[in-house]
Chain A
């Protein structure tokens, strides 16, 4: 079944500063939706609004056409990877996988170096290893939509490639919204790409739009290597 998550009519202000307005974003099963934007343009704020952690002046969030009015989000509908560490460091990987009903052997198939860490507490892992566990739990556990806020921070390039493969595998079962400043990696895997500028989301049609919207300098080399599917 294809699930659709839509967000529009978001108006978010902090005191006199308007952060978001005229936002429209759509995510659906089978697609990776990328979200780019300069620092402070409201990417994380938008994700927090979708997750019910930030209350804007106005918003419309719908899953399969049904509006979500309160701040509660069922994990069956939506899971969210914030950009900071969110798993209590005293928990072991074994315990985390039990809570999220995940298969440790599946993790080992992608990240074989974690085999020795099954009973290790998170506080004994490096920042990158900890981030991989956090990404894996949100990305692979059962839900309709996963939102990933800067998943590649602290992660080494070799592991970024593995995570990208994992995202492409998991998009068969869910809709994925992702934001990160490693925009070439985002462009590699996303089917739709939005850029936030002046509080508004712009759906890009091709890679040149990213340059035109002032997010990054796009040269010919970038254009050859990447192509937005949207």
Chain B
């Protein structure tokens, strides 16, 4: 339970930016269809890379909070990036299905 709480707290530090990017991708795929999927897929990957770099730099002091509770950077990044990307893929597929 504490693990989920900590991971969600960490995710909240970039969830808004990431959600905005996902929503933009959804609106584009809704307009342009399956042909835009490959470009949007790589766009999402690149923006997640930028977020990763930005958070590692801007929140670098806060990683000590998580480490003092037994959570390394890997423990935080792997589940949050997976969660975010699965959410992105799911919403993209659903958008294509109900378009």
CB within 8 Å for A87 and B65 given contacts A99-B5, A99-B6: yes
Number of residue pairs A-B, CB distance < 8 angstroms:
40
Would you give the 0/1 interface string for A121-138, flagging 1 where the beta carbon is closer than 8 Å to chain B?
A: 000000000000000011
A residues in contact (CB < 8 Å) with B? 51, 71-75, 79-80, 82, 84-88, 90-91, 98-100, 137-138
Would you give the 0/1 interface string for B12-23, flagging 1 where the beta carbon is closer than 8 Å to chain A?
A: 110000000000
CB < 8 Å neighbour of A75 from B6, B12, B69: B69
CB within 8 Å for A72 and B72 given contacts A99-B5, A99-B6: yes
Nearest residue, chain B, Cβ from A88: B62
Q: Is the CB of B62 within 8 A of A86?
A: yes
User: 15 A-B residue contacts at CB 8 Å?
Assistant: A51-B67, A73-B67, A75-B68, A80-B67, A86-B62, A86-B64, A86-B68, A87-B62, A88-B9, A88-B62, A90-B9, A90-B12, A99-B6, A100-B69, A137-B68
B residues in contact (CB < 8 Å) with A? 2, 5-6, 9, 12-13, 59, 61-62, 64-65, 67-70, 72
Binding site secondary structure of chain A: loop
CB within 8 Å for A99 and B2 given contacts A72-B72, A73-B67: yes
Q: Is the CB of B68 within 8 A of A79?
A: yes
A41 smallest CB distance to B (angstroms): 22
Nearest residue, chain A, Cβ from B10: A88
CB within 8 Å for A74 and B70 given contacts A88-B9, A91-B9: yes
A58 smallest CB distance to B (angstroms): 23
Query: Considering the chains assembled together, what is the distance between the CA atoms of A88 and B68 in angstroms?
Result: 13
Q: Is the CB of A84 within 8 A of B67?
A: no
Query: Considering the chains assembled together, what is the distance between the CA atoms of A71 and B70 in angstroms?
Result: 12
A contact residues around B2 at 8 Å (CB)? 98-99
Query: Considering the chains assembled together, what is the distance between the CA atoms of A79 and B72 in angstroms?
Result: 13
Query: Considering the chains assembled together, what is the distance between the CA atoms of A82 and B5 in angstroms?
Result: 23
Q: Is the CB of B68 within 8 A of A80?
A: yes
Q: Is the CB of B61 within 8 A of A85?
A: yes
B contact residues around A91 at 8 Å (CB)? 9
B contact residues around A72 at 8 Å (CB)? 72
B contact residues around A80 at 8 Å (CB)? 64, 67-68
